[in-house]
Amino acid sequence: MSGGPKAGFTLGGLVVLGLVVITVALITYLVSNYLYVTYEAGKYSLELSNKLSSLSRSCIAYIANNSLYFPYSTYVEYSIPNTVKPGLYSTLNLTGFRGEVLIFTEGCTILVKSTGNATGFEVIGYGTG
Site residues for another protein per CB under 8 A = 11-12, 15-16, 18-19, 22-23, 26-27, 29-30, 33-34, 36-37, 40-42, 44-45, 48, 51-52, 55, 60-65, 69, 71-73, 77-78, 80-83, 85-86, 90-91, 96, 98, 100, 102, 104-111, 122-129
Closer residue to another protein (CB): 45 or 120 = 45
CB of 88 to another protein, least distance (A): 13
Kindly compute the dihedral angle of the four CA atoms of residues 56, 58, 63, 69, in this order, to the nearest 10 degrees: 170
Close Cβ partners of 26 (under 8 Å, ≥ 6 residues apart): none
C-alpha 127 chain-centroid distance: 19
